[in-house]
Amino acid sequence: MTKISDVAKLAGVSTATVSRILSNPSWGKPETRENVLAAVKELRYKPNALARQLRTQETHTVIVITPNLSNDLFHKIIHSIEQEAAAHGYHVLVADAEGQPSVEEYYLNAIQQRQVDGIISISASAARHLLEKIADHYPLVLVVQSYEECNIPSVKIDNRAASEAITKHLIRIGHRKIAHITSSSDLLLYQERLSGYEKALRDGGIPVDPDLIYRGKGSMDGGFEQMNALLASGKKFDAVTCAGDTIAIGAIAALKARGIRVPQECAVTGFDDIEIAPYFDPPLTTIRQPAEQMGQIAFLKLFSMIKKEKKYDSPTYLPYELVIRKSCGHLL
């Protein structure tokens, strides 16, 4: 591998000169610059990033921890983080925590080993005190979800309010027996969505019936299974709010498989507005999260922490959007 000393030798200067010319566009006298740049070109020299990082103590890399790679919302966010990071000369390392025994360990290893300058965690699932401890020592930003009254910088929508809004929409157009299908994972965000669902019911004078709340996998398979369980229970219901679009899709498929028409016989709503939401049959009524903005703001927050501009920061709440399509039946 060609290194800086090779370039220096060819150009007839010291390594220090090469280094400075490469990192400072206005350094050295023109003649020297030319020589060095020519040598760099001829030898196809590329600085060894490892050595540079060891020396400068910064990697210009941030890590994004995602609970899984297959969530449309998540990779919209990731993509946006990447865009913003690139604009600031940073690289993004994507860590897929799915199936990872201990996510927390993953966090700590990478940053403690100085391989990254900061962490963005998409819907962190680690215990609160642990996250706070990490945030105490290293730049950390939470996206999509975070603990309440917690001073770790975060960007998210108000999941509770959004869930309340979509449930209230169902009530407004006449539904009374509304079920809720959610993920059995203990992500706070699902708790918040459940809580918003419950609040909407109470506000509407409808008692919350635990027998109408189902928990399972947060995937299409999960939605399918939970809906079948709900149907098998014999309980009556005329609408279902799902804690995610994938769950809603599975649930609708289960309904259709029994010949139950959506939304005529049962309205269904989702959450997240994933790519397929408008193309599904029926198109999904759902909540749209401002994925792009979330990613961008998350990176910018992290960036300012890395640059030591600020350590803590109040959480940023972004506006969500209630997207009404056909699956809730309001158009009929």
Partner DNA sequence: TTGTATGCGTTATCAT
Partner DNA sequence: ATGATAACGCATACAA
Q: Please state whether beta strands 61-66 and 91-96 pair in parallel, antiparallel, or not at all (unpaired).
A: parallel
> Which of 201/274 has CB closer to its own copies?
274
Under the binding rule (CB under 7 A), the answer on residue 32 touching DNA is: yes
The minimum distance between CB 88 and DNA, in angstroms, equals: 18
- Which amino acid would we find at residue 54? L
Among 32, 53, 151, 195, binds its own copies (CB under 8 A): 53
Q: Which stretch binds DNA (CB under 7 A): 46-54, 95-103, 206-214, 289-297?
A: 46-54
In whole angstroms, what is the distance from residue 205 CA to residue 220 CA?
31
220 binds, among its own copies, DNA, none (CB under 5 to 8 A by kind): its own copies
Asked if 77 and 295 touch (Cβ cutoff 8 Å), the reply is yes
Under the binding rule (CB under 7 A), the answer on residue 57 touching DNA is: yes
Under the binding rule (CB under 8 A), the answer on residue 258 touching its own copies is: no
276 binds, among its own copies, DNA, none (CB under 5 to 8 A by kind): its own copies
Among 9, 43, 52, 318, binds DNA (CB under 7 A): 52
Among 5, 14, 23, 48, binds its own copies (CB under 8 A): 48
Largest interatomic CA distance in the chain: 86
Task: Output b/e per residue, 216-233; b: 16+ Cβ within 10 A.
Answer: bbbbbebbbbbbbebbee
Binding residues among 69-108 for its own copies as defined by CB under 8 A:
69-70, 72, 75-76, 78-79, 82-83, 92-94, 96, 98-99, 108
Task: Find the DSSP H helices in the chain.
Answer: 4-11, 15-23, 30-43, 49-56, 72-87, 103-112, 128-137, 159-172, 188-203, 220-233, 245-257, 291-306
Binding residues among 276-315 for its own copies as defined by CB under 8 A:
276, 278-281
The minimum distance between CB 323 and its own copies, in angstroms, equals: 16
Site for its own copies (CB under 8 A): how many residues?
46
In whole angstroms, what is the distance from residue 76 CA to residue 83 CA?
11
> Which of 256/258 has CB closer to its own copies?
256
Give the number of other CB atoms < 10 A from CB of residue 254. 20
3-state secondary structure of 167: helix
Under the binding rule (CB under 8 A), the answer on residue 176 touching its own copies is: no
Under the binding rule (CB under 7 A), the answer on residue 12 touching DNA is: yes
3-state secondary structure of 231: helix
Contacts of 258 (CB under 8 A, 6+ apart): 231
Under the binding rule (CB under 8 A), the answer on residue 115 touching its own copies is: yes
Closest to 328 (Cα-Cα) out of 264, 235, 281: 264
In whole angstroms, what is the distance from residue 328 CA to residue 284 CA?
8
Asked if 227 and 255 touch (Cβ cutoff 8 Å), the reply is yes
The 259-278 contact track toward its own copies, x by CB under 8 A, reads: ----------------xx-x
Site for DNA (CB under 7 A): how many residues?
29
Query: Would you tell me which residues interact with DNA (CB under 7 A)?
Result: 1, 3-5, 12-17, 19-20, 22-23, 27-29, 31-32, 45-48, 51-52, 54-57
Query: Would you tell me which residues interact with its own copies (CB under 8 A)?
Result: 1, 46-51, 53-54, 59, 69-70, 72, 75-76, 78-79, 82-83, 92-94, 96, 98-99, 108-109, 112-115, 219-220, 224, 246, 249-250, 252-253, 256, 275-276, 278-281
